[in-house]
Structure 1
Amino acid sequence: MTVADAPVAVYAALDDHVAAGVAALEAAGFRVVQAGSDDPAELAAAAGDAVALLVGYGRVDEAVLRALPGLRVVSLISQGHDNVDVAACARAGVQVAHLPPVATEEVAVHAWALTLAAVRQLPFFDRASRSASTWASRPRAIPRRLSGLEVGIVGTGRTAAAYAGLAGGHVAALRSWSRSGRPLAGATPVADLHELLATSDVVSLHLPLDDETQGIVDDAFLAAMRPGSWLVNVARGGLVDPAAVARALDSGHLAGAALDVLDKEPAAPGHPLVARDDILLTPHTAWLSAESELAYVVEQAANVIAWLQTGAVTHPVLP
């Protein structure tokens, strides 16, 4: 097979750390194009004959499918697939693959680190320590003893289980809630979400984003939370209504929030949460480590290679 005859795999708007994936795809017989864009027109211009699309958090919908008529596989660089119109892909005969759980430890550790940094008010004290005039300043919400805090976990998947393992033995109580009612090792299951919220000093989100969970953290959710509590989110930004969080912070009902994800990334100017001192933000990096960064790229490419060799991706979104 000549290079001209090789099947084409196109990378959308992924960063520059995809060399291992590119090498694996080329070794498997693909011609690889790095379009560097999620825009359908730019994808079509770069690789209109692509059979495989490797994408990050860009939208994959009817417009992309029309732009790439020969597309047969979409491979994501995450476990979440809320950015893909899976039904449209299925109608078009396009397989959608996501990643196996290659960063469970990293995400759980990040969530626990955000929890500790938030309740200990580390961002405030970091800023205060840099000037003699603010050295003795105290935050609005004075840190509380960790062993006296009650933690509620919303969701009971792998990351939630790892987070529970980190928190267990360090806090006064650990409770969990899930839509399925599935229990979480080390946590007391609670059947009613509002009961969990009302009895938690920290609420940590570990849910997928779908039609049911979109904007689940709204005014009613936040009002049900214990006064002076903290919200932690390393799952999906779309779970949280940022304006509702801002209102809860302004009223003093929430002590603060620690977020690795936002509803729109990167945040646009004027976003209601990014300029606040009572919000701890990290830029969607809960998954990041040297090990996971390599695994993400390699596993994403492996799904495409499996499709070429067997006709089926290894980790399909739909069985």
Structure 2
Amino acid sequence: MARIVITEPMDERAVARLRAAHDVFHDPHLVDDAPRLLQLAGGADALIVRNRTQVRGALLQALARCRVVGRLGVGMDNIDMDGCAARGMQVFPATGANALSVAEYVVTAALLLLRGAYQASAAVSGGQWPRAALSNGREVAGKTLGLVGFGSIGQTTARLARGLGMEVSAFDAMMDEDHPAFAQGGVRCAGLEEVLTTADVVSLHVPLLGSTRGLLDAARIAAMKPGAVLVNTARGGIVDELAVAAALKSGHLGGAALDVFEAEPQPAAPHFEGCPNLLLTPHVAGVTQESNDRVSGLIADRVLQALR
């Protein structure tokens, strides 16, 4: 019987499956108790984390007998992949399990931000009638969605967007124009600059790497189509948040939805105050009841298999 340590929230049904075969310690708040986490790590044969647990440095050193790390999500920037490999530790992400949740978030954000009429509840309930001011919203049908990154989430987003009548272009540094995913999804393969300058909605779906950190800087945001909407559900470090705020206030960007931030949890951010048509959410695009079931179940399966 192996020892499994789970440091962040995981669906209890998946935890119960793990407990049926192994000794499991699950504390959704363990990530916030570093001394206790380091102590428990020493006896762990498997570690299961979300995005906040940093599997590197002292924690990686403490995982003396760990054989497998399960990641309840797809981003791997909180895990030292080379360090895990050097120790013979397998790392399993929940690839594809939350793609639909993120894709629905992106398409919903595009609808909200292009239409621009869904934040009028307070005004209308207070006796105002801003019909004229809200009558210039835009439809998504016929607009172009530009995807930066065309993996599982990007492809699912493209499918939903095309169902609403959007045209879709995509750039992926790891895929050439002959990759079958483009033709299968009815998506036009384009260069990064073309995607950014021609899309009405730009959505980011790339990991945070040295090559993608600061990818959407002030210059690239300034090059975006006037009135375009930006959606970032990838990682905060990919986008210059100050430049986004400035572009919203100047009117160059028509809207922005940011689910991820350079620092998480996001501290007070005065630069976002007064930004029009801005949607901020706390890294929840990929987290729904259904996706949590899928993600947790998938990682439980992979950890159980690896421990056999």
| 1:227-242 correspondence runs (5 A) | 227-242=226-241
Give the superposition deviation at 1:134.
5.8
TM-score by length of 1: 0.84
Match of 2:89 in 1: 94
Give the superposition deviation at 1:136.
4.3
Give the superposition deviation at 1:148.
4.5
Deviations 1:262-306 (A, max 9, x none): 222221122633774421123322223332221222222222211
Match of 1:132 in 2: 127
From 170, 174, 178, the equivalent of 1:176 is: 170
Give the superposition deviation at 1:123.
3.9
Match of 2:187 in 1: 187
Match of 1:216 in 2: 215
Structure 1 CA distance for aligned equivalents of residues 123 and 58 of structure 2: 49
Going from structure 1 to structure 2, the CA distance change for 1:127 and 1:261 (only over 3 Å counts) comes to: farther
Give the superposition deviation at 1:167.
1.9
Structure 1 CA distance for aligned equivalents of residues 145 and 102 of structure 2: 17
Structure 2 CA distance for aligned equivalents of residues 34 and 200 of structure 1: 43
| 1:70 aligned onto 2:65 | yes
Count of aligned positions: 300
Structure 2 CA distance for aligned equivalents of residues 281 and 298 of structure 1: 29
Match of 2:27, as an amino acid? Q
From 2, 7, 12, the equivalent of 1:19 is: 12
Structure 2 CA distance for aligned equivalents of residues 271 and 92 of structure 1: 43
Going from structure 1 to structure 2, the CA distance change for 1:166 and 1:220 (only over 3 Å counts) comes to: same
Give the superposition deviation at 1:150.
2.6
Match of 2:112, as an amino acid? A
| 1:98-137 correspondence runs (5 A) | 98-133=93-128, 135-136=130-131
Give the superposition deviation at 1:229.
0.9
Structure 2 CA distance for aligned equivalents of residues 60 and 198 of structure 1: 37
Structure 2 CA distance for aligned equivalents of residues 290 and 234 of structure 1: 18
Structure 2 CA distance for aligned equivalents of residues 163 and 33 of structure 1: 33
Match of 1:175, as an amino acid? S
The answer to whether the 8 Å contact 2:73/2:98 transfers is no
From 127, 134, 146, the equivalent of 2:140 is: 146
The answer to whether the 8 Å contact 2:4/2:22 transfers is no
Deviations 1:72-97 (A, max 9, x none): 22111012211101111112222211
Match of 2:158, as an amino acid? A
The answer to whether the 8 Å contact 2:255/2:278 transfers is yes
Q: Which runs of 5+ in 2 are unaligned?
A: none
| 1:278 aligned onto 2:277 | yes
Going from structure 1 to structure 2, the CA distance change for 1:174 and 1:49 (only over 3 Å counts) comes to: closer
Specify the SS of the correspondent of 2:121. Answer: helix
The answer to whether the 8 Å contact 1:25/1:32 transfers is no
Going from structure 1 to structure 2, the CA distance change for 1:163 and 1:47 (only over 3 Å counts) comes to: closer
Deviations 1:150-187 (A, max 9, x none): 32222222222222222226446432222133462222
| 1:198-209 correspondence runs (5 A) | 198-209=197-208
Match of 1:317 in 2: none
Q: Once the two structures are aligned, what percentage of the paired residues are identical?
A: 35
> What is the Cα-based RMSD across aligned positions, in Å?
2.4
Match of 2:56, as an amino acid? D
Match of 1:302 in 2: 301
Specify the SS of the correspondent of 2:47. Answer: strand
The answer to whether the 8 Å contact 2:97/2:294 transfers is yes
Match of 2:168, as an amino acid? L
Specify the SS of the correspondent of 1:254. Answer: coil
Give the superposition deviation at 1:146.
2.9
TM-score by length of 2: 0.87
Match of 1:8, as an amino acid? R
Structure 2 CA distance for aligned equivalents of residues 255 and 70 of structure 1: 51
The answer to whether the 8 Å contact 2:204/2:232 transfers is yes
